């Protein structure tokens, strides 16, 4: 698949790509550059559903080490599912 950038600098996504990534209007899309290529991830949050969870946040726990999590995913792709 390929797409052509418009004169305004926008790249339209094919319907097949949007369906595979489960993209909907208004979704944010992160496309970080990785050594082995790019990785795309869509983000969709329903703030009203997340708000009640605020009371369950534990601030006494250590902050997560996201680099360790990323490395674990890279070493064991089965953790992604």
Q: Is the pLDDT of residue 26 over 70?
A: yes
Note the pLDDT of residue 38. Answer: 63
At residue 80 the predicted structure's pLDDT band, cuts being 50, 70 and 90, is low
* Under 8 Å between Cβ of 43 and 30: yes
Residues 65-70: what's their mean pLDDT?
82
Q: How high is the mean pLDDT of the chain?
A: 76
Instruction: Give me the percent of the chain exceeding a pLDDT of 70.
Output: 79
- Average confidence (pLDDT) over 26-46: 68
Q: Would you state the pLDDT for residue 45? A: 67
């Amino acid at each position: 698949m390929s797409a052509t950038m418009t004169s305004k600098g926008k790249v339209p996504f094919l319907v097949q790509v949007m369906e595979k990534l489960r993209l909907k209007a208004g979704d944010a899309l992160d496309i970080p550059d990785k050594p082995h290529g790019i990785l795309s991830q869509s983000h969709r949050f329903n703030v009203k559903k997340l708000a009640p969870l605020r009371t369950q946040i534990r601030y006494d726990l250590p902050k997560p080490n996201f680099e360790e999590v990323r490395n674990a995913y890279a070493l064991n792709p089965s953790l992604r599912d």
